[in-house]
């Protein structure tokens, strides 16, 4: 078989996380110095980011200490990248495919990844955020950083962007399969509620037109349809809020207390996270489990993130192949 003459670069965007205790504070600074997160002009944003990252570093270090001193998000994303490359090749797109990773707030950052992609010399680039639901604070922020890095690296290949995929069938199927695996093990006759927990956003971000909350709801509704369990008790809630601003509601901790008051068990689903990290492994598995126990929740289960579930990876592969040669017609990213 003759070698393929065309090259496809797929760039996975993810949040990133500190890879050592020493990285916690600079990781937080990068996060809060993002204009999509702290919407202030410089130098005020820099000063606020320095202040917040300094104040939050010790608490964040304790969280990552529970995970062995580092975030697992990069090795887990690397596993997804490897699985995705194999799935794309299985669809025989006619390209030599290589999947790259660009983290937003820690290594590998967009600048170093853009250099690697430029060295690969692709004919096509497809940008794939590992955020199924679009937000200006996640996907838009990553794409904007990528565009600047790609220009600096001299990367001129035609580029298509997968802006969002809140109801992509493979993503929905993977969620439904994992939830069913938990539901099928529950004792008959028990009272349970499926609680879809997503990372929160300040209410003012949504009020400004960010579609994230609406898309989270779309995902949850699609998963419930795929589960096809009449009478299923389910809700959507939002976790991980920080600071004094009002965030989108209902809050996950309030829904946990409600379940306790109603003597209802919980099956908690990370509906906006595709891999395990501190918000799932610490916040959902440890802190919210403890809150559930204190609140009288009779039974608490947490559904795993989709990770490398075959249905999810196959869905991503189909998305990538469908975007080869596509012209960007983006709704949310200017």
What residues have CB less than 8 Å from 160, skipping those under 6 apart? 124, 125, 126, 127, 323, 324, 325, 326, 327, 328
Residue 252 to residue 221: CA distance in whole angstroms:
18
Q: Is 263 strand, coil or helix?
A: coil
The residue whose two tokens read 């499926």 is 194
- Known binding residues for Fe(2+): 199, 279
Task: Return the CA Rg of the chain.
Answer: 20
DSSP characters over 44-110: HHHHHHHHHHHHHHHHHHHHHHTTTSS-SHHHHHHHHHHHHHHHHHHT--SSEEEEEEEESSSSSBH
Which residues are 236's β-sheet partners? Answer: 196
Length of the chain: 334
Residues 195, 239: contact at Cβ < 8 Å? no
Per DSSP, the chain holds a count of helices (H) and strands (E) of: 12, 8
Numbered residues of the known binding site: 199, 279
């Amino acid at each position: 078989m003759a070698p393929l003459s065309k090259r496809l670069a797929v760039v996975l965007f993810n949040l990133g996380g500190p890879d050592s205790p020493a990285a916690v504070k600079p990781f937080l600074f990068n996060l809060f110095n993002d204009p999509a997160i702290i919407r202030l002009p410089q130098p005020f944003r820099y000063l606020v980011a320095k202040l917040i990252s300094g104040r939050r570093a010790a608490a964040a270090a304790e969280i990552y200490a529970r995970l062995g001193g580092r975030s697992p998000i990069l090795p887990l994303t690397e596993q997804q990248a490897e699985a995705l490359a194999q799935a794309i090749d299985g669809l025989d797109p006619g390209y030599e495919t290589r999947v790259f990773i660009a983290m937003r707030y820690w290594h590998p950052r967009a600048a170093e990844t853009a250099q690697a992609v430029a060295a690969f010399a692709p004919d096509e680039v497809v940008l794939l955020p590992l955020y199924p639901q679009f937000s200006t604070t996640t996907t838009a922020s990553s794409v904007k950083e990528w565009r600047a890095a790609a220009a600096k690296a001299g990367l001129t290949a035609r580029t298509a962007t997968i802006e969002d995929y809140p109801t992509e069938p493979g993503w929905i199927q993977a969620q439904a399969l994992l939830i069913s695996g938990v539901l099928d093990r529950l004792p008959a006759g028990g009272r349970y509620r499926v609680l879809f927990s997503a990372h929160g956003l300040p209410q003012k971000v949504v009020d400004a037109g960010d579609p994230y909350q609406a898309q989270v709801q779309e995902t949850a509704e699609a998963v419930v349809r795929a589960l096809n369990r009449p009478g299923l008790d389910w809700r959507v809630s939002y976790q991980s809020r920080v600071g004094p601003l009002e965030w989108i509601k209902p809050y996950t901790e309030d829904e946990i207390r409600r379940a306790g008051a109603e003597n209802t068990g919980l099956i908690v689903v990370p509906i906006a996270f595709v891999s395990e990290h501190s918000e799932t492994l610490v916040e959902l598995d440890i802190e919210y489990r403890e809150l559930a126990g204190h609140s009288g929740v009779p039974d608490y289960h947490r559904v795993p993130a989709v990770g490398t579930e075959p249905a999810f990876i196959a869905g991503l592969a189909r998305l990538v192949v469908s975007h080869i040669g596509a012209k960007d017609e983006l709704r949310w990213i200017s």
